[in-house]
Amino acid sequence: MGLASLLLGSWCVLSCTAGRALISGGPSDALVRRASHVGLVVGAGLIVCGGALQ
């Protein structure tokens, strides 16, 4: 379970970072930025919990 949380958290952080870099400009930019911040927090939490479970 710990390894799965670590991998899922890492994927979440990487995808949110890459997604924010790919999508820039336009009216939905603020929404994408806010969603990527939430995704980064969730991913970091999964990494911390996965490390604690191992």
Name the band, by pLDDT with cuts 50, 70 and 90, for residue 27. low
Say what the pTM is.
0.75
pLDDT of residue 45 exceeding 70, the answer is: yes
Give me the DSSP letters along 33-49. HHHHHHHHHHHHHHHHH
* pLDDT for residue 39: 87
CB 10: neighbour CB atoms within 10 A? 14
